[in-house]
Chain A
Amino acid sequence: MYIQWCVKGIASRPGFDWAAAQSTVSAQHGIISNWWHHHGQITPADVAGELNLANLYRHLNDYAAYGPVSPFISLAAGSVERDAYLQTNTVHSAIDTGLWFATAYGTRPGALFYCWTPVGLNPAVEVASVSESVRDLDVYRDYLPFQPEGEITAKVSLPSNQIQRVEWWDSFAAAGPVHTFVNPSFVEPTPLTTLRELF
C-alpha cells in the first residue's frame, strides 16, 4: 500500500456551489459516491455487494450510464514516471485534469479538492479502504489510449479529514482560484507511512 495525493474536480450544479463545496469539508461530510447519494442510506452489506470488478469497469468504461449510481470515485493523480513516459509520451497534470472536470470542460465554475488516499499495490476491488490505481500500467493494462481521466479510483466515500483544502475556480482561464478553504480537521498521512522522524 502507498499513499497517493490526488485532486478531485467537481463542477457546479444546482445545490453545489462554493458554500456547498466548503461545507463538504467543514461539515465533515467528505466526498461521497453517487451510489451513496442515490440511496441516501447504505449499509456494510450493501457496500460488499457493490464493490466488484465488473462495476469498476462499468465506472471506467460506461460512466454515462453507470456513473450516476457508481460506488466509485475517480481522482486525478497525474501521470507518469519517466520510465512510463518513454512508453506513453505523455505526462498529465492532476491539477489540469481535475480543473477540466471541475469546470465541466470549460463551461461553468467548480471545485478542486486536494486529498490523499491509500492505494493498494495490487488490485483489491472488493476492499473499500484502499483505492485502485486504474491507470497503472503494471496493474490494469487493458486501458484505451484516447481518453486520459482519473488515475485513481476511491470507493464509496472519501473522508473529509483526508481532504487538505478545497478551491473554487470560476474558470480554467483564471490565474488561480477565487476561494480557498483549508480544512482545519485535516490529518496528514504521515502516521500511515513507514517513515519515522527522529526527535
Chain B
Amino acid sequence: MALSGMIDDEWLIRRQAFCEARIAARIDMDIHGRAGLVIAGLHRELAAIFLVQNELLPMQIHLVAAGKILRAQGLAHGLLLLGLAGAHVVLEDPLARTVIQVATRLDEHGGDDAPRVAGTDYYSPHQWLAVLQAGLLAGPADEPGQFAILIDRLRPQASVTLANGLPLGLYLDLLAPREAASSVAQTRWDDLSAVFSWRRRALRIAKNDIYHWEGTLDLAKLIDFDLLALFVCRPTDEAGGRPFWDQVIGEDALAVLPMALADRVRGFGESGPAFAH
C-alpha cells in the first residue's frame, strides 16, 4: 500500500531526522528514567515511519530498541513491540511470568504460604493485555496456552479504554474470539466494521484540523500498534484471495492502514532476528 498523497513524503523525511536527532541528544541519559520512555517513544515512531516506507530492517531495529527500553522499565508494551519485530522473548520474560502469576492467583484470599505479589503495574489490564498480545504473537492465536488466564481476567474488564480509544472488550473479542474461530472476518464482522468506522470517524475529525494534521501527526498512533498486533495475529484473508483493503483507496486507505501493514510484519521471528536478545 502506498501512502503517496496521504502523508507528505518530505514531512516524513524531516520527522525521521527529528526523531533521530532527539535520540542522539539523549545518548548519555539513563534509559531507566523518564528520558528512557521518551527515547523509546522516538524509536517507536521511527519504526512506524520505516514501516510505512516498507523499510523493514530499520523498522525491526527501532522496534527492538524501543521494546528493550520499555521492557527494562517493567512495561509490557515493550514485549509487544519486541514480538512485532520477531523477537518473541515473552515466553522467558520475568515480567510476563509475574503478570501471569498475578492473574492466576487473583482470587486467592489470605492465609496462603506465598505472599501476594505487590505493585500496581502487575495488576493493570493494559499490562495484562500487552503480555497476551506478545504471547499470541509468539504462538498460534487460537492456542493461547499459558496466556489463556489473561483472556479470562480481561473479559470482565471490557470497558477499559485502550490507547487508541477503543474499548478493551471490543478489541479482545477480535483478538481472542469467544467461539472457536479461524478468522476475524468470518466470525466478528460487526466488530471489525466497528473498528473501521471508529478509525474513519477519528481520521475525518483529525484531518479537519489541518494545522495539527499537517504538522504534528503522530505516525505511531496512526499505525496503531495494538491494531497492528491484532491483524498480525489474526489475518483476515484466510478465506483466500486478496484482502479487501488492498483495493481500498482515497480517504479510507488510512482507516485500514494497520490492517494492510500487518501483512508486511506477519511472519517475523519464525527464525527471530539475532539482534533482538
Contacts and interface: CB of A to CB of B under 8 A. Distances in A.
A79 to B, nearest CB: 10
Interface residues of B, number: 44
Contact of A173 (B11, B21, B165, B208): B21
A64 interface: yes
A123 interface: no
Nearest to B215: A105
A106 B18 contact: yes
Contacts, number: 100
Contacts of A96: 18, 22, 38, 42
B120 A83 contact: yes
A92 B163 contact: no
Contacts of B209: 61-64, 147
A15 interface: no
A147 B221 CA distance: 8
A185 interface: no
Nearest to B20: A173
A100 B25 CA distance: 14
Given A88-B163, A92-B38, A145 B210 contact: no
A74 B171 CA distance: 34
Interface in A80-114: 82-83, 85-93, 96, 99-101, 105-107
A172 interface: yes
A149 interface: yes
Nearest to B19: A96
B126 A105 contact: no
Contacts of A172: 17-18, 21-22
Interface of B: 11, 14-15, 17-18, 21-22, 25, 34, 37-38, 40-42, 75, 77, 120-121, 124, 126-127, 161-165, 202-203, 205-206, 208-213, 215-218, 220-222, 225
Nearest to A137: B161
Given A83-B120, A86-B121, A90-B41, A147 B163 contact: no
B215 A145 contact: no
22 contacts: A61-B205, A63-B211, A64-B209, A67-B211, A86-B126, A86-B127, A87-B163, A89-B77, A90-B221, A105-B215, A106-B17, A145-B164, A145-B202, A146-B203, A146-B218, A146-B221, A146-B222, A147-B213, A148-B218, A172-B17, A173-B17, A173-B21
A99 B14 CA distance: 13
Interface of A: 61-64, 67, 82-83, 85-93, 96, 99-101, 105-107, 144-149, 172-173, 175
A93 B126 contact: no
Nearest to B203: A146
B212 to A, nearest CB: 4
A85 B18 contact: no
B216 A100 contact: yes
Nearest to A106: B14
A85 B75 contact: yes
A101 B215 CA distance: 8
B143 to A, nearest CB: 27
Contact of A93 (B38, B162, B206, B222): B38
B14 A105 contact: yes
B211 A146 contact: no
A83 B161 CA distance: 14
A145 B211 contact: no
9 pairs of A and B residues whose beta carbons are closest in the complex: A91-B37, A106-B14, A63-B211, A64-B211, A147-B212, A64-B210, A173-B21, A93-B38, A86-B126
Given A105-B11, A147-B206, A91 B163 contact: no
Contact of A87 (B41, B161, B206): B161
Given A64-B210, A91-B38, A96-B22, A148 B164 contact: no
Contact of A147 (B21, B165, B218, B225): B218
